[in-house]
């Protein structure tokens, strides 16, 4: 076993690997860029080497610097994590040539599986079902039409290099082919400098199901069951689970065998994942193989009880697999949610900032793999994923409920996250039923908002919580002033009923507190027609999260105060709740509806200074709050943020230009 | 029953009903259509249920000197007293439905009566302004009436808190009353303040401008700084007034009420240790610190849209109201300029008048340079803030967060102007000026004579930074009392305020100083 390894990665996966190494007594070396100077992964490793500037090209993608760091610290092996250089054959080769062990498959396997065309050929040769399609790149439009005719429409145009959905186009009729092919080639050239496109059948209503395999250097191959990763947005996975609701034991065996056959054919060693696409009839077709540890590996770990990173290290150290296929058992169900620094309300643009509040959920069956903590700075240089929350339960429903509760309690402030978006996904009845396809999010969401309104029951609970907070806060003022109030003719209002009207978006609620809520006692609260018994906690307003036991069940709410209103996050609901007394409510009827203010269509310079950088260009779609220009003024650098959502029509300044206060920097077309 | 008595009762009923509906149901509906509440409805929301005692329901004017105006009962304003969260306040609410809420003699006398009583018993005065201005028909009598109100505004200033809530027009001479009061609220889209209205502007200067652009809530919240708070509508305005009152004492002889928000006094916040970027030229948001240290993370910001490079507002520490003044490095690098000095100066003097301790959080690189500021009188205006802090005898505590350079360091509640307790974070840079400026002056000859002046400057800057860009020299001199860990800021502040609670100082015996104006 190794004594010291270098982790060529950052964030949550680096910390994940460090955790296993600590348990096994292996020394860890972390690498970090300028932006990651204060990062958690740097400080948790035994040693850390600074490898360059913030841009990935200058640091985490710089093979020479990483190898140099490994040599300088005496590391014996390199774990590439996922992303970055993990699937670059050049890197694997360089590591080996430097006399170090690459914790992953052989270079040849990385090579052959990295190319969509060669991997598909290998799959065919292994007897693994593949999507009907041509294994050669199409030569021209005529060729494409002929191939499509042969396979049968609808077809998918797929670039040979790269992934993440870039360059992919669906063609349903011959008439669409010309335009689709041109667009696909153009995008592929731009993203991957490669115009090879090939055609295959497009699977409707597909489910993305993958098999985790492990292979040792002695030729033993096992599979660790499947993961369903159908919940994706723009080809990025959001929610994954194991097992899959539609995979029977028999299907698992067949898919597992296919995956292992493929691995053997490729002479694969170490951990890998074979991705399949499954149609409505449970036919599965090979998609691609990922020659590394996957982001969603924890769900497999939770139902098998195995530590995949440990197994990776052992295999790389030459040990044989400590079990065979019959030794692999599955228990319960695990679901994972990926938490990213993005703003679902604004088209999911990456969110930046400093984490000012951080409280992760804890408890039996809850696992949080996080790359950040309080004080963490989130920049735009890297992937926006902050953490993963994985919940395990006896049944799928148990796991789902635990995950909802965990996400409700996951408190991150300072950056926008997709926590409430993910919660709203798993709260949908269709998700509870397991009716998943890769089109799930597009089907049920418009941008980041669910097409269907949240369930009335959830809204009522949120209204109840908002009212209780509002009432307690208001009463707190009265109570504190009690000693100052003239003792002549004062009234006590214990035992009174308190009526409130609550508005959230277009929904109205009538909330009645029967009696004054007292900490430690149960108060009966009515929301419209339904009655609830609520255990009143001690309210700590600064905490901005609340756990309420309502009718014997715990519910977690996250709160933000906005003027005198309360923004509640609960079960995917992220809304402002306006609490009014009945008198105020009557008066509110006369208040004018807030008209959408005419938005500025220019970006003005806030102060005299120098333009250090222009971060966006003409034609780009930008979002309110997104930094567009970096100014240096009064010896300070600051970003100038867009005041609107819109498209840039004109950029009027250049880098290095001196500017005055109120000078127009950028013009927009407001959307 | 005696018929005489019966008749009197009936008259009383009739007159009261007439007074209450004086403007007419239709007029009230017009107000509603404009998105405004009636004068009575506003008081109903402002005050605790069933506590309003009205005065002068039956008072009328003497009759206009220019004739032809009907006398209305109550003369267009509703006055009296009630309670807010159990504490007595005196109120007047102008009724736009009666002669446009215009101010006549009787109207003003009613207001003066409640102001006099308020001072006598030591309770806040809250005015809900919605008036077309002086009642032209009453001529000079109306002007005289205004004068009496202004007189009382000044006499009450610093004795009881005075709050103006402009919920309609407030024009002409009438604007001087709110402007003397301590805080002005304005309602968006329905309130306006200007000395000369758009029609006269058009006649005299031929400029076409709307009421909104001339003196709407947005203008006064941002450009002019006349309004301390803006609110979306009438209902929320009255809520915010109640909220402000909860921070303030009833009069200048008392301290503000204590409010227990279940927030431990020794609560530490690890995020503060990470707040300051490692690069001195990068900004951060001072609001993160403010919300972290205050009870319940509650902060009522005053003048939020005006002079955003300084933050002023009320919060609580250990249950006690405090007045917070903090530089905001994210706006104009946190420099002090004319507007910021004036904004903070007035806020400091309000807190001093009403026994509210002052906490300053300092990150100021200096005063804003340039001819605009110099010609605008930054010398006079900057001195206002210096004067205000120095003059204040309430407990004063300062925490230097990062930069504290030159004159601005002195102005921001430094030890040298007798701030009671001064703390500094390890990231504090207390110096006469920034490294570049200092190096250029001190090592001028060397830099000039060098082969590579840039390199020498960089070297000297680095040397200066290492020596002076820290709090230790100031600590050695006792100019700061301690260097504290950022995460402990709240607990240090609360302990200090506990100690300073019984502070008693008096200024020199004089009528009043001569603060530069």
Contact call for B332 and A633, based on CB within 8 A: yes
pLDDT band at B261 (very low <50, low <70, confident <90, very high): confident
Contact status, residue B66 vs residue B99, Cβ threshold 8 Å: no
Closest CA to A542 of B110, B319, B100: B319
Q: State pTM to two decimals.
A: 0.90
Domain shared by B117 and B186, yes or no: yes
Q: For residue B86, tell me if it sits in a domain.
A: yes
pLDDT the model gives residue B492: 98
**CA–CA separation, A222 and A231 (whole Å):** 26
Torsion of CA B226, B230, B234, B235, to 10 degrees: -140
Q: For residue B218, tell me if it sits in a domain.
A: yes
Q: For residue B390, tell me if it sits in a domain.
A: yes
Domain shared by B353 and B227, yes or no: no
List B74, B80, B127, B172, catalytic entry: B172
The token pair that represents B156 in the structure block: 């009450």
pLDDT the model gives residue A444: 96
Q: Write down the architecture of domain A4-103 according to CATH.
A: 3-Layer(aba) Sandwich (3.40)
Q: Is the pLDDT of residue B406 over 80?
A: yes
Domain shared by B230 and B191, yes or no: yes
Q: B141: part of which helix (H) or strand (E)?
A: helix B140-156
- Provide the chain A residues 624-653 that lie in CB contact (below 8 A) with chain B: 632-638
Q: Is the pLDDT of residue B403 over 80?
A: yes
Q: Which of A482, A591, A634 lies nearest to residue B365, judging by beta carbons? A: A634
Give the CB-side neighbour count of residue B370, counting CA atoms within 13 A. 13
Q: For residue B184, tell me if it sits in a domain.
A: yes
Give the residue ranges of DSSP H helices in A266-391: 297-304, 308-316
Contact call for B335 and A38, based on CB within 8 A: no
Distance from CA of A374 to the nearest CA of B (A): 6
Q: Is the pLDDT of residue B67 over 70?
A: no
pLDDT the model gives residue A163: 62
B173 tagged catalytic: yes
Contact call for A634 and B330, based on CB within 8 A: no
Residue in A closest to B435 by C-alpha: A635
Within a 10 A sphere around the Cβ of A274, how many other Cβ atoms?
Answer: 30
Interval A45-72: pLDDT, tens:
999 999 999 999 999 999 999 999 999 9
Q: For residue B259, tell me if it sits in a domain.
A: no
**CA–CA separation, A447 and A441 (whole Å):** 9
Contact status, residue A649 vs residue A667, Cβ threshold 8 Å: yes
Q: Which CATH number fits domain A456-588: 3.30.700.30, 3.30.910.20, 3.40.50.280, 3.40.109.10?
A: 3.30.700.30
The SS3 of residue A426 is helix
For the segment A496-509, the average pLDDT, to the nearest whole number, is: 94
Domain shared by B200 and B274, yes or no: no
Distance from CA of A534 to the nearest CA of B (A): 20
Cβ within 8 Å of residue A167, ≥6 positions away: A157, A158, A159, A184, A185, A187, A188, A191, A192, A197
**CA–CA separation, B284 and B273 (whole Å):** 13
Domain shared by B438 and B485, yes or no: no
Domain shared by B240 and B288, yes or no: no
**CA–CA separation, A446 and A421 (whole Å):** 11
Q: For residue B513, tell me if it sits in a domain.
A: no
* Extents of the domains making up chain A: 4-103, 132-201, 207-228+245-450, 456-588, 602-670
pLDDT the model gives residue A598: 66
Contact status, residue A312 vs residue A1, Cβ threshold 8 Å: no
Cβ within 8 Å of residue B371, ≥6 positions away: none
pLDDT the model gives residue A528: 96
Domain shared by B355 and B299, yes or no: yes
pLDDT the model gives residue B215: 95
Round the average pLDDT of chain A to a whole number and report it: 91
- Provide the chain A residues 144-183 that lie in CB contact (below 8 A) with chain B: none
Distance from CA of B309 to the nearest CA of A (A): 11
Domain shared by B337 and B381, yes or no: yes
Q: For residue B510, tell me if it sits in a domain.
A: no
- Provide the chain A residues 366-385 that lie in CB contact (below 8 A) with chain B: 374-377
**CA–CA separation, A519 and A516 (whole Å):** 10
pLDDT band at B64 (very low <50, low <70, confident <90, very high): low
Q: Is the pLDDT of residue A320 over 90?
A: yes
Q: Is the pLDDT of residue A479 over 90?
A: no
Q: Own/partner pairs for B413-419, CB < 8 Å, 24+ apart?
A: B413/B325, B413/B358, B413/B360, B413/B362, B413/B389, B414/B479, B415/B478, B415/B479, B415/B480, B415/B481, B416/B479, B417/B386, B417/B389, B417/B390, B418/B390, B419/B360, B419/B389
pLDDT band at A234 (very low <50, low <70, confident <90, very high): confident
For the segment A469-487, the average pLDDT, to the nearest whole number, is: 74
Q: Which of B35, B239, B275 lies nearest to residue A590, judging by beta carbons? A: B35
Distance from CA of A53 to the nearest CA of B (A): 15
Residue A420 burial (10 A CB sphere; 0-12, 13-18, 19+): buried
- Provide the chain A residues 400-419 that lie in CB contact (below 8 A) with chain B: 414
Contact call for A38 and B274, based on CB within 8 A: yes
Closest CA to B22 of B54, B60, B63, B50: B60
pLDDT the model gives residue A498: 93
Q: Write down the architecture of domain A602-670 according to CATH.
A: Beta Barrel (2.40)
Interval B462-483: pLDDT, tens:
888 888 889 999 999 999 999 9
- In total, how many domains does chain B have? 3
pLDDT the model gives residue B453: 86
Q: Is the pLDDT of residue A493 over 60?
A: no
Interval A520-571: pLDDT, tens:
999 999 999 899 999 999 888 889 999 999 999 999 999 999 888 999 999 9
Interval B332-378: pLDDT, tens:
999 999 999 999 999 999 999 999 999 999 999 999 999 999 999 99
Q: What percent of chain A has pLDDT over 90?
A: 67
Secondary structure letter of residue B80 according to DSSP: E
Q: Is the pLDDT of residue A168 over 90?
A: no
Active-site residue list of A: 288
Q: Write down the architecture of domain A132-201 according to CATH.
A: 2-Layer Sandwich (3.30)
Q: Which domain holds residue B453?
A: 433-469
Note whether B87 contacts A: Cβ–Cβ < 8 A: yes
Note whether A542 contacts B: Cβ–Cβ < 8 A: yes
Q: Which of B240, B260, B329 lies nearest to residue A480, judging by beta carbons? A: B260
Q: Is the pLDDT of residue B109 over 90?
A: yes
pLDDT the model gives residue A379: 87
For the segment A206-222, the average pLDDT, to the nearest whole number, is: 96
pLDDT the model gives residue B260: 87
**CA–CA separation, A119 and A125 (whole Å):** 10
**CA–CA separation, B177 and A256 (whole Å):** 83
Q: Locate the DSSP E strands across B67-226.
A: 77-84, 87-94, 125-131, 162-171, 183-187, 192-194
Set of chain A residues whose Cβ sits within 8 Å of the Cβ of B255: none
For the segment A28-55, the average pLDDT, to the nearest whole number, is: 95
Q: For residue B99, tell me if it sits in a domain.
A: yes
Report residue A359: phi and psi, to 5°.
-140, 110
Which CATH number covers residue B138?
3.90.226.10
Domain shared by B453 and B312, yes or no: no
The percent helix, strand, coil of chain B (3-state, each to 5) is 45, 20, 35
Distance from CA of A409 to the nearest CA of B (A): 19
* Residue that is written with structure tokens 């804890």 in the block: A362
Interval B114-131: pLDDT, tens:
999 999 999 999 999 999
Domain boundaries A207-228+245-450, CATH class: alpha beta
């Amino acid at each position: 076993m190794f004594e010291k390894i270098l982790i060529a990665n950052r964030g949550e996966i680096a910390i994940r690997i460090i955790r296993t190494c600590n348990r096994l007594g292996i020394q860890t070396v972390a690498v970090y860029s300028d932006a990651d100077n204060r990062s958690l992964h740097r400080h948790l490793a035994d040693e850390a080497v600074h490898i360059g500037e913030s841009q990935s090209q200058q640091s985490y993608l710089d093979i020479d610097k990483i190898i140099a760091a490994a040599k300088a610290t005496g590391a014996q092996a390199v774990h590439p994590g996922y992303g970055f250089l993990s699937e670059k054959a050049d890197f694997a080769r360089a590591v080996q040539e430097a006399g170090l062990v690459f914790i992953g498959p052989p270079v040849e396997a990385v090579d052959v599986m990295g190319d969509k065309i060669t991997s598909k050929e290998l799959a065919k040769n292994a007897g693994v079902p593949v999507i009907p399609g041509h294994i050669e790149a199409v030569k021209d439009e005529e060729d494409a039409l002929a191939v499509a005719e042969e396979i049968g429409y609808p077809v998918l145009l797929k670039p040979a290099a790269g992934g993440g959905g870039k360059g992919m186009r669906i063609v349903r009729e011959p008439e669409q082919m010309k335009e689709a092919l041109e667009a696909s080639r153009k995008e592929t050239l731009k993203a991957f400098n490669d115009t090879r496109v090939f055609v295959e059948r497009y699977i409707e209503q597909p489910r993305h199901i993958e098999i985790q395999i492990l292979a040792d250097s002695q030729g033993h191959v096992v599979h660790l069951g499947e993961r369903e990763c159908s919940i994706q947005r723009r080809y990025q996975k959001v929610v994954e689970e194991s097992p899959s609701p539609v995979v029977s034991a028999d299907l698992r065996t067949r898919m597992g065998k296919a995956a292992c056959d493929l691995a053997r054919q490729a002479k694969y060693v170490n951990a890998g994942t074979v991705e399949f696409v499954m149609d409505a009839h449970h036919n599965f077709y090979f998609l691609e193989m990922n020659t590394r540890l996957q982001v969603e590996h924890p769900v497999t770990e939770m139902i098998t009880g195995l530590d995949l990173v440990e197994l990776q290290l052992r295999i790389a150290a030459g040990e044989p697999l400590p079990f065979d296929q019959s030794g692999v058992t599955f228990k319960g169900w695990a679901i994972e949610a990926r938490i990213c620094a993005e703003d679902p309300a604004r088209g999911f643009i990456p969110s930046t900032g400093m984490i000012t509040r951080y409280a992760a959920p804890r408890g039996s069956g809850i696992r949080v793999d996080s790359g950040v903590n309080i004080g963490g700075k989130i920049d735009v240089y890297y992937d926006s994923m902050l953490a993963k929350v994985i919940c395990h339960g006896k049944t799928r429903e148990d796991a789902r409920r635990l995950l909802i509760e965990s996400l409700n309690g996951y408190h991150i402030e300072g950056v926008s996250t997709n926590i409430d978006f993910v919660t709203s996904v798993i709260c949908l009845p269709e998700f509870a039923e397991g009716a998943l396809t890769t089109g799930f999010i597009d089907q049920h969401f418009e941008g980041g908002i669910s097409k269907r309104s949240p369930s009335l029951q959830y809204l009522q609970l949120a209204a109840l919580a908002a009212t209780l907070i509002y009432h307690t806060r208001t009463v707190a003022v009265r109570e504190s002033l009690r000693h100052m109030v003239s003792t002549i003719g004062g009234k006590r209002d214990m035992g009174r009923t308190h009526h409130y009207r609550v508005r959230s978006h277009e929904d109205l609620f009538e909330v009645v507190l029967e009696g004054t809520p007292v900490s430690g006692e149960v108060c009966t609260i009515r929301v419209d027609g339904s009655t609830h018994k609520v255990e009143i906690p001690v309210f700590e307003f600064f905490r901005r999260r609340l756990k309420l036991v309502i009718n014997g069940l715990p519910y977690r709410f996250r709160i933000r105060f906005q003027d005198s209103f309360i923004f509640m996050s609960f079960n995917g609901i992220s809304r402002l709740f306006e609490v009014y007394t009945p008198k105020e409510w009557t008066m509110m009827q006369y208040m004018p509806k807030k008209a959408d203010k005419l938005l500025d269509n220019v970006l003005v310079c806030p102060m005299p200074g120098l333009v250090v950088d222009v971060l966006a260009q003409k034609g780009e779609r930008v979002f309110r709050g997104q930094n567009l220009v970096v100014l240096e003024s009064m010896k300070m650098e600051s970003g100038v943020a867009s005041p609107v959502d819109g498209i840039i029509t004109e950029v009027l300044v250049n880098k290095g230009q001196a500017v005055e206060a109120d000078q127009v920097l950028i013009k927009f077309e407001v959307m | 029953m005696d018929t005489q008595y019966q008749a009197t009762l009936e008259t009383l009923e009739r007159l009261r009903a007439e007074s209450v509906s004086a403007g007419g149901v239709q007029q009230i509906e017009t107000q509603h259509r404009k998105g405004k509440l009636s004068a009575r409805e506003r008081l109903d929301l402002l005050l605790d249920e069933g506590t309003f005692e009205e005065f002068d329901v039956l008072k009328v004017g003497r009759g206009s000197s220019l004739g032809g105006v009907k006398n209305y009962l109550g003369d267009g304003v509703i006055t009296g007293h009630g309670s807010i969260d159990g504490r007595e306040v005196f109120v007047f609410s102008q009724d736009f439905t009666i002669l446009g809420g215009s101010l006549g003699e009787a109207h003003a006398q009613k207001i003066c009566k409640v102001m006099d009583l308020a001072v006598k018993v030591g309770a806040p005065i809250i005015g809900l302004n919605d008036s077309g201005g002086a009642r032209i028909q009453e001529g000079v009598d109306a002007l005289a009436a205004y004068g009496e109100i202004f007189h009382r505004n000044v006499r009450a200033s610093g004795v009881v808190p005075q709050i103006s809530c402009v919920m309609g027009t407030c024009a002409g001479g009438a604007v001087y009353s709110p402007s003397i009061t301590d805080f002005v609220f304005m309602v968006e889209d329905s309130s306006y303040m200007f000395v000369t209205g758009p029609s006269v502007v058009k006649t005299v200067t031929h400029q076409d401008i709307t009421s909104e652009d001339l003196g709407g809530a947005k203008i006064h919240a941002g450009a002019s700084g006349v309004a301390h708070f803006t609110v979306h509508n009438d209902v929320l305005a009255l809520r915010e007034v109640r909220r402000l009152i909860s921070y303030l004492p009833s009069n200048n002889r008392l301290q503000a009420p204590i409010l227990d928000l279940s927030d431990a006094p020794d609560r530490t916040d690890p995020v503060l240790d990470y707040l300051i970027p490692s690069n001195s030229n990068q900004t951060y948001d001072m609001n993160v610190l403010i919300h972290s240290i205050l009870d319940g993370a509650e902060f009522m910001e005053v003048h939020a849209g005006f002079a955003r490079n300084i933050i002023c507002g009320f919060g609580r520490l250990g249950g006690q109201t405090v007045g917070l003044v903090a530089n905001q490095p994210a706006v104009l690098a946190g420099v002090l300029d004319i507007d910021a000095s004036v904004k903070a100066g007035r806020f400091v003097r309000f807190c001093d008048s009403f026994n509210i301790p002052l906490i300053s959080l300092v990150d100021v690189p200096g005063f804003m340079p340039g001819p605009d500021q110099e010609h605008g009188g930054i010398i006079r205006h900057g001195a206002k803030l210096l004067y205000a802090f120095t003059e204040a005898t309430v407990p004063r505590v300062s925490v230097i967060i990062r930069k504290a350079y030159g004159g601005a360091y002195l102005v921001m509640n430094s030890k040298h102007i007798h701030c009671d307790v001064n703390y500094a974070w390890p990231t504090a840079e207390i110096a006469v000026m920034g490294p570049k400026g200092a190096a250029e002056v001190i090592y001028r000859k060397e830099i000039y004579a060098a082969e590579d002046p840039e390199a020498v400057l960089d070297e000297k800057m680095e040397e200066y930074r290492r020596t002076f860009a820290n709090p230790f020299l100031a600590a050695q001199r006792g100019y700061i009392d301690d260097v504290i860990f950022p995460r402990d800021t709240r607990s240090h502040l609360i302990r200090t305020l506990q100690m300073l609670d019984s502070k008693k100082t008096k200024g020199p015996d004089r009528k009043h100083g001569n603060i530069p104006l």
